Structure 1
Amino acid sequence: MRFSFGQVVIVGAVLAAAPSHAQTFDPRFPVCMHVYSGGSSGGGEWYDCSFASLSQCRGTAAGRAATCDLNPFYPVNAPPPRPRRGRSG
């Protein structure tokens, strides 16, 4: 019993110490710019999902190490939100 409890404690500590990642893509906008930075000096890559169209994103990405992609989490076929009716009271 001690052996399994020790394993649970170790696994719990490892999972608690592991970094968590937020969602990369913002579902409110249909287009994301994938920016490549750093190279051998570090940096990394990141996404900027704040564009309403591909042409807007491409204008911002011009001259940078970046590409524009459609946001895979943008709800294309989502039904429009239902109108909310206020209560009269």
Structure 2
Amino acid sequence: MTHPPALLRPAVPADLDALVELHTRARTAYYRVRFLREAALAAGRVEAWERNERARAFYARHGWRPDGHRRPGPAGACYVRMRLDMAAA
């Protein structure tokens, strides 16, 4: 059985929403399900750039909450640390 070759092309600005959604879903799924549960950890932490409102909103929808920690990031904006408590998830 042969398959047609995959179509690869450079990303264009119109692809941005789909790429961001794919990346954030994959990253959240990895940290929440695979790593935290398999490792039997009580909580997880992730950082999101404060200007990336879409990423912060995505994590918040999946139970991640800011824990008050911030560190300097690019362009004068901080990274915001978010925490997921597995007992509440």
The TM-score, its normalising length taken from structure 2, stands at 0.27
User: Looking at CA atoms only, which structure, 1 or 2, has the larger radius of gyration?
Assistant: 1
| Structure number with higher helix proportion | 2
The TM-score, its normalising length taken from structure 1, stands at 0.27
